[in-house]
Structures are given as C-alpha cells and as structure tokens.
Structure 1
Amino acid sequence: MATITGFQGKQWVAGTKDYDEYDYSYSYSTYGDKRLHPALIIQPNSVDDIVTAVKYAKKANIAIAVRTGGHQYSGASSTYAPNIQLDLKHTFKTDADRQMFEKDGRSLVRTSVSWSLLEFNDWLGSKSCFVPHGQCIGVHLGGHVQTGGYGQLGRSFGLLGDHVLSLEIVDHNGDVKEITKQNAPEMFFAILGGSPGNLGVLTHFTVEVHNDGDYGGFSKEQGGPRGLKAIHLYHPDTVKRLLKILVEMSDNPDYPRNYDLCISVLSSDFPILKWFKHSNRDAIDHHFREDHPEIYGEDDRPLWPRTIVVFAQWVPLGPDDVCDMSWFEKLNHGALWGEVEENVMSKMTSKWLFRAEREFELPYIKRTYFTKSNTLGKDGWVDWVTARVDEIIDPVFNNCWLSCQFQCFGGKNSKFTTNADNGTAYSWRDSSMCATTDCFYAEEARQTAADWQYINDHQGVGQDGIFSKQDRRVLWGSWGDFDFDKVWSCYHEDREKYERVMEVRKKADPDGVFTPNSFCVKRADREIRTQL
C-alpha cells in the first residue's frame, strides 16, 4: 500500500523497515486467534490530516480503525490489511486541547481524545476539579468515553460518559461536526455506548466536571471525603471476608450512594508498588522491609507475593451525611498496609489509578460480567468465586496468573443506576456488581486458562448461573465471539435498542469507512463489508 498523499503526519507501511521497527504493540493485537496487521498505520498531526485520511479511505474503498491509547488488547479497535490503523495517541496534546471554562454556573472542560487518564487526572487536579473515570493509566480518553468510562466513582458519580455535553467528530464524508443531545440526539446516543469507533472519528468532547469545594465536607465535624487503599496478603479466608462486605453492599438496594468499593486479587510477581503514587512508595517499601523481609530475597529485589488490594471511598453529599468509619475498619483489618485518609476529591481520584500499563506482559483470556442479582450472599457466590480464584492463584508453578476485580455499581441510590435513560447507550444500568477475571498464561498453559474460564462461564452465568442469570458484558471488556451481530444481546439490553443503533450506523457509515472488523453493530439493511 502507498502512503496517503497530502497527509502531514507520520505513516508506516506494512512490510517496510520503519513499520517493523516502530514498536506498535496494538498493530499486532490478537483478534480472536488472529494477529492483526494493518496495511498502513498513520499518526495524524491535525483534524485536517484526519479529513484527508477519511476521504482517501472512502475513495479507495477501504476501512479505518481508530485508536487513542491501545489498551484494547483484544483487537476490537484494530484492523488488518488492506485497512488503515488511525492512531490518535499523540495528535491533540496542546494547551488548546484541554481548556476549562464556566457556563451557566457550571464548570466545563473541553478535552481532546489523546490524553491518557493519568494526564487528564493530573490536569483536573491542578484545577481542583474531578470527574469519574477509569483506573488504568494506559487508557486514553477517546475509546474510554465511548465505552463508558467505568471506574471507582461509579456509584457516587456515575460514568465519565454521563458527563458529556458535546462531541466533535469527523464523519464518513470528511466533514467536521459537533454532536449534542439537542442537535443530533440519535447520533449522540449511539456514539456514547452504541458502537464505539464505528460512527466517526471522535477528536474532542466537552464534559461537565465537579469542583472539590462542593464535596469538601459541610462542617468541620463531618470532615471531607475519605479513602482507603489497602494491601492484604492473599488467603482464601481473607478473600471471602472482604467479598462478603462487598456483597452486603451490592445485595442491599438501599445502600447509600456515598460509598464505592472495589476489591482486586492478584497473583504473585505483580509489581504492586506501581499501583501507588511515588509519594507513598518509599513509606510502603520501608514498612515491608521492616515487617516482611522475605519479600525481598537475597538480591534485595522484591518478589511480590499474591495479594488483595482494597479500594474504598466515601464522599459527603449533604450536611446530614455521616461516614461509617467501622466500614473502613473492617476493610483495613489485617492489612499489610493501609490507612484511611481524609482528602479532597481531586486528590482522592488520583489514588485510584493503576500506575502500570498492564498487569502481566502475557497473553490472556478475559472475562468481564455484570449481574443484577441482589441475592449473591444467600446464593453462595462468595464461596464459589473464592474457590474459583484459588484454583488458579494457589498453585505456584501452574504458569497462570490472575488479575481479578470485583466492584459494586448498583442500588437505587447509585448514580450508575439513576443515570440510565440520560440520552446515552451505555447498557446494563440496572446491574448491581461487575466482576472481571482475567487469566494471563504462558503459552504452554493456555489450555489450563481456557478450561478454567469455561467452568466460570458455565457455572457462573446463564439460566442457572450463580453470578448472573443473563450474559451481560461491557464493550471495554470485550472477548470471545467477535461477530457482534451474533452476540449483540450480551452488550445491549434488547432488540429495539440494537436496531436503533443499527439505524444510526446506516446513516453514519453507509460505505463501511468505519467498519474495520466485525466487532461493531451491523448497519441496518446492509452486510458488514469485511469479515475475519
């Protein structure tokens, strides 16, 4: 394939020395069992470059896949020859690409899609503001906002996408448009959770943000928000105890909105200090050297054991709110390290970031499921999932490593719940809990990982599932069958919604410019052009 004439940014053609030497891990994403090799990888300098690329692709009858960060390891935002990989990771990163302003008494931020969560969070913190978003620093805003922006503040403040007011895109004709709920409600709906990356090239968006001063405590006695980040040594009994606290929360539809809780379980060798800010690392390191020298070995390099990490938060939402400190005490009991801190929200949100690009540098079999169950406690889910986790995490030399995350989202007071029907297409807003179980493996243990996930699927999900009676997945955690038209019911609640997004796609992508693979909502009355 030739390069694009008139394109001012960088271009890498497949099969050339520059393409092979430039290490784009996402250009070799695994899509099912296939490796994806775009015919051309391009990195635009401007909106004009994007317009040029879109017009080129349309004329050449090929498709464009859009990525902003490359965190979608399954390949759903990548493609294969003869198509083009459009990389926006570095395109919009000037002062003009993130600006804060006031309008109608609200604090708004116009931001580009190219900022990472770490960069965006740090910048908002410098303005004493915050907004809910995810926890992985390698995620960038473009894909993140289109798939929801799930994170630690899900119950207290909802999703990042719930705060979006306008979207700036380059459409299939190469025209630049601003999309709002008022001027294009169907397009606004579909971009935010309908079929991410398949309706146009998102370049910038505007969100309403929260100010620290509005959540800093309504009295001296009440105090400000509180947060806990605690490390426990792995033991099945500790997993059970902590998950029971989480289930008490998710099974109670009346649980106050103020509280957010996420529990992670990690196999050994995970560099746990990377999940902490530099300012905390020396203190934690000193503590572990004093109390647990066995971690450091003969060469003084830490070999981290299997661990459980607790992320817990409370925020005052009104003058009558009182923090239940016993809740934090139960979560912190027996921890290797952990302390409840009182902090401003913009500083608190930075504590929830995972400061590592990826858990383990290995292939993995991913699962992320939602449930709407309020009977996990009496159904025995805690005992079941603890046993499932222990089957992989307890053997030391099975060549499999787990990264599991369990988080409560639901309840009738939760903003994740009450923000349903807000003009976005994000699904499963009646869910109570989200469970992610990613099993990384060495190549010789792939079947072990696959067999383990097979049992999880068949015992945990389905008509008799102990976790969920319905297969509920999220777009950011996509896996399995990548023909979206076959599995749409796992990602969208009903046929009516799916067909609604199909109609939007028919108009937004009539020629398949934004159909680089089969993991997208089908265009109404048209077949997907390119199948794997």
Structure 2
Amino acid sequence: MATIQGVTGNQFTPTTTDYSDWQYQYATSTHLDDHNMKPGLIVQPKNKDDIKKTVLYAKANKKSIAIRTGGHQYSGASSTGPNNIQLDLRSTFTSPDDLRYFVVPGLNEQTRKSYVRASVSHSLGDFNKFLGEHKAFVPHGQCVEVHLGGHVQTGGYGQLGRSFGLLGDHVTSLEIIDHEGNEKEITKNQDPELFFAWLGGSPGNMGVLTHFTIEVHRDEDYTGSMGLRVLHTYDVAKLRKLVGYLAEMSDDANFPRNYDLCISVLSASADILGLMGGLDNEMEEKHPEIFGKDANPAWPRMIIVYAQWVPFSKDDKPDMNWFNRLKSDCFFVPQAGVEVKPMSELTAQWIFRNTREFDLPYVKRTYVTKSNNLSKNGWVDWVVSRMDRVVEPWFNDQWLSAQLQVFGGKNSQFTKNADNGTAYSWRDQTMCMTIDNFHKPEKKAEAEQWQRENDMQAIGASGLFSKEDRRVLWGSWGSFDLDANWKAYYDDEAKYQRLRKARKLADPDGVFTPNTFAVKRAD
C-alpha cells in the first residue's frame, strides 16, 4: 500500500525497517499469526489535518481504518489487516492544551462544577497524575498504559464503580472527525443517538475520537475518604476467606454505595523465575518507548485487596469491621493500615504500574453476572480451586492474573446510571470476574483447555457464576465477530439495532470497519 501524500506524521508500510516494531501492541504475541494484526499502512498523525487526509484517502480508495490509542485491546481490534490502515494516535495530542482542567462557576460553592478536557492520546497513568495535581478524581481503570480513547468508549471500568459509576458516565461532550473528514462535537442533548453509540458501541467504529470533556469530582467534597491496599502472601485458605467476603457483599442488594472492593490474585513475577523471553520481553528490553515502562519488576505469588470508603454526607460513618477483616494476616505491614486520604490519592494507589501483568501470550476471560447467590451456591470454592490450579504450581509454565470486583446493588451508582444516555450494558451486574492465563507458547493448548473448562462451569444454565454469557467490550474473548455474538455484549436486541442504525449514520461507507469486532451497520 502506498503512503498518503501530504501527511506530515510518520507512515510505515510492511517494507519499512521499523514497521514490525510499530506494529506491535498488547495482543501481538497472543495473535502472532493473525493477518488482522498486520496493517498495510500505519499512520502516526501529527495533527487533525493528518487525520483528515487519512480518512479521505481511505474513503476514496475503499480502505478501512483501525484506530489505536494505547493498543491495549485484548483481541487486537485496534489493529487491522494488509488491505487497511491503522491510525496510531498514541502521541498525536499531547500538548498542554490537550489536557486542561477548568471550573464552571455556579450560584454557590455547591453548584460550581469542575471539568477536564482530555485527549485520547494520554495514558491512564498520566491522566490520573494530572487529576491529582488538581485535587480532583473520576472513576477509571487500573492499567497504567491503557490510553483514554479506547478506555472511555468501552466504559472505563475501575475501582470506583459502585461509588461513582464508570469513567464514560462522566463524559459531557465528544470531539470527533467523521467519515467525511469533518470536525464535530457530540453532546447528549444535541445528538443523543450518536452520543449513545459512541459511549458503548464498538470502539473506533463511528469515526475518530480526538478529545472529550468529562465532569470530575473534587477531593474537598468528600473529606474523610479512606482506603486500604493489602498485599497478602498467597494462601488458598486465605483466598477462600477473602473471596467469601467479596461474595457476601455482592449478594447484598442493600449494601451502601460508599464501599468498593476488588480482589486480585497474581502468580509470582516471571522475572523472579528467570523465565522471561519471547516477543513481549524483547520489546520491553529493546523498545521501552513502544512497549511502555514497568514500575514493579518482581513480586511473589500474592493476593491484593483494594478497599475504599467515601462519605456522601456528613452523617456517613465507615464500618471499620469491614476493613479489619480484609487486612487480617497481611504480608506487608506498612501497607496494611486503613488510611484516611483524599480520593485523588486513593485512586493513584489502585493503579497497576506495569504495562502488562506478564510478558507472555495469554488466554483471557472477563465475565459479568447478576447473581445474588454467589456466597451460597458453591462459586467461592469453585473459583478458588480454578485459580489455585494455575497460581500454585509455578513450574507449569502458566501464570495467573485474576481480578474480582463488586459492582452492583440497588445503591450502586453503576446500577443507578442505567439509561443515562450511554450504551454501556449489563448495569444490573453484581460482580465482574476477570481470570486470565498467561503462558509459555508451548502451553497454549493447556491454557485454552483450562479456560474452556472455566467457560463450561462458570456460565450457562447450570453456571456457578452466571446463567447468561455476559461480556464487556474491553474484555472480549472467543469469536471476535461482534455481529454474531452481540447477545454476549448488549442487553437486548433493541439496543443492538439502535446501535446498528447509529453506525449507518456515522459510517455509511464502512471507513471505520477494519475487522469483525464492530457493530454491523443497519441495512
């Protein structure tokens, strides 16, 4: 494929010396032979004019564009095949004006509002740091190198889910470049159908998102917030007890909104074992400017507890017993105390500071459920046993990364934000479970078999976790044909058909249909 005339940013074709380096992303080593991760042209625009030229070139030459911001999408949907173009925005919008905090005055202190205008090019880590400098916060995820473009379009799931909802729930406007190269601003009031489709429809398939504005929260409005981060040495009995606490909280529909709880389980870092190798490790060592930077080079097998409480009125008081049972028998005593901290500082503590959990290929799963019986139906013992099969025998060349988090209950803001003008699904969920197997290449079949067993036992009519197959866009797995599997990602057919109509309006010529992980346009 030829390069595009007039584009001032870098362009890479498969014959370019550095093509294979810039082609690399989070999913590359897992989908190494997938032709849908080998774009015919990679464009790294310097500005909006470069983006417009790329869009118009694609439209005129019947090419499709895949949009990459961080490239963290599990299935590699931020890439595309040899006939198409990848638009790599990770460094396009990084000037001071691309991340700006501002306040809109109100009649009094209580009615003034704070906002941030952000670009898609910022990493979650940089975004969180910026908010902290302004003593502000907003719910978002925990992976430091995830970039905001894909993150906000798929929801922005994170530690504050029960107390504040999703990152995408806080979006007030979207700045885009459409299929004809026009700049537009989309708001819920002025264009509700496109606003709905951008926030929860398939990411990158409506146009090119460049910036968005979100309403943020201020530390000063939540004085007295407190959090706990505990690192437990791995022990199966301890894990069973902690997951039991999590299940009890998830089953309690009346649990107060003030609390959020997440439990992660990690195998020992492969750095300790001296077993690193392969493409991901090579990219980390030779091209940190592409791979990202790791802050935690090594760790033992561990259970990590993230817990927080935030006041919503002067009468709210924390239940310290809730915290105390989560930190019993902790490993790192200095991190074991319940700390009273501003929310902006607590959100910084929840971030996982490595680019990826392990520098290995993976078989990933993320399930969500609306079950209110997890503490009684055998799920706790089951999920602990499944994790223990991978995390315990470190010599089996498989490594576990799991994360279980409560989202639901009638008081949860995640639940209350249903029908708020976005398309994010499964607002009735009680818990989200991510359970990933990172493996040596020669152990791929074993990892896939372990996950197939999880699928069979966790979901379906007799499933211990969910009676339905419910997934989220950021945690895609299995077949990546979204049109064939929309029931797993969207609440009902009416929502999916509404998204199809919006896609036809936004992208009538298929400029933004670079692979099958996209809502199909209406006929």
CA drift of 1:32 comes to 9.3
The reply on whether 1:168 has 2:189 as its aligned counterpart is no
In the alignment, which residue of structure 1 is the partner of 2:505? 507
Question: CA RMSD of the aligned region, Å?
Answer: 1.6
Distance verdict in 2 for CA 1:32–1:321, change over 3 Å: farther
Q: 1:336: which partner in 2?
A: 331
Is residue 85 of structure 2 the alignment partner of residue 84 of structure 1?
yes
C-alpha change, 1:260 and 1:33, in structure 2 (3 Å) is: farther
Out of 346, 361, 367, which is 1:348 matched to? 346
Superposed counterparts of 1:75-154, under 5 Å: 75-103=76-104, 104=106, 105-154=112-161
Counterpart-to-counterpart distance in 2, 1:381 and 1:159? 26
Task: Specify the alignment match of 1:228 in structure 2.
Answer: 228
Aligned ranges 1:100-499 → 2 under 5 Å:
100-103=101-104, 104=106, 105-216=112-223, 224-269=224-269, 304-337=299-332, 338-499=336-497
CA distance in 2: counterparts of 1:271 and 1:210, whole angstroms: 38
> 2:352, 2:171 → 1: CA distance?
24
Cα shift readout 1:54-80 (whole Å, capped 9, x = no counterpart): 001000100000011111132112101
Give the alignment's TM-score, normalised by structure 2. Answer: 0.91
Gaps of 5+ in 1: 217-223, 273-300, 526-532
- Quote the offset at 1:102 in angstroms: 2.0
> 2:289 maps to what in 1?
none
Q: State the SS of the aligned residue for 2:15.
A: coil
Contact 1:264 1:403 survives alignment (8 Å): yes
- What's the offset of the Cα at 1:302? 8.9
Provide closer, same or farther for how the CA distance between residues 30 and 506 of structure 1 changes in structure 2, counting only shifts above 3 A.
farther
Q: Distance in 2 between matches of 1:182 and 1:304?
A: 48
Task: State the Cα distance separating 1:340 from its structure 2 match.
Answer: 1.3
Q: CA deviation at 1:22?
A: 4.6
> Which amino acid in the other structure matches residue 170 of structure 1?
I
Contact 1:69–1:138 (Cα < 8 Å) also in 2: yes
1:309-351 CA-to-partner distances (Å, cap 9, x unmatched) read 1101001111111111111111110010222111011111100
Aligned to 1:71: 72
Letter matched to residue 116 of structure 2: V
Q: Distance in 2 between matches of 1:352 and 1:66?
A: 28
The amino acid that maps onto 2:203 is P
Q: Deviations over 1:214-247 (max 9, x none)?
A: 001xxxxxxx111111111111111110011111
Alpha-carbon offset, residue 99 of structure 1 = 1.4
Question: Does residue 49 in structure 1 map to residue 40 in structure 2?
Answer: no
Following the alignment from structure 2 to structure 1, what is the Cα–Cα distance between the partners of residues 21 and 118? 32
Question: For 2:88 and 2:74, how far apart are their aligned partners in 1?
Answer: 15
Deviations 1:358-412 (A, max 9, x none): 0001110000000000011110110111111111222231111000000000000
The one-letter code sitting in structure 1 at the alignment partner of 2:89 is L
> How far apart in 1 are the matches of 2:31 and 2:423?
24
Structure 2 unmatched ranges of 5 or more: 107-111, 273-295
Q: Distance in 2 between matches of 1:227 and 1:251?
A: 22
Answer whether contact 1:27 1:78 (CA < 8 A) is retained. Answer: no
Q: Which amino acid aligns with 2:133?
A: S
Distance across 1 between alignment mates of 2:436 and 2:58:
36
The Cα offsets for residues 231-274 of structure 1, whole Å up to 9 and x where unpaired, read as 111111111100111111100000000100000011122679xx
Give me the whole-angstrom Cα distance separating, in 1, the residues matched to 2:96 and 2:445: 49
How many residues of Structure 1 are paired with residues of Structure 2 in the alignment?
Answer: 490
CA contact (8 A) 2:64 2:514 kept: yes
Distance 2:62 2:167 in 1: 34
The Cα shift of 1:509 comes to: 1.0
Amino acid at match of 1:417: T
Name the SS of the counterpart of 1:52 in structure 2.
Answer: helix
- 1:107-130 per-residue CA deviation (whole Å, 9 max, x = no partner) reads 111111111111111111111111
Using a 3 Å threshold, how does the CA distance of structure 1 residues 180 and 524 change in structure 2: closer, same or farther? Answer: same
Instruction: Indicate the residue corresponding to 2:284 in structure 1.
Output: none
Task: Quote the residue 1:276 is aligned against.
Answer: none
TM-score by length of 1: 0.90
What is the rounded CA distance, in whole Å, between the counterparts of 1:470 and 1:198 in structure 2?
A: 26
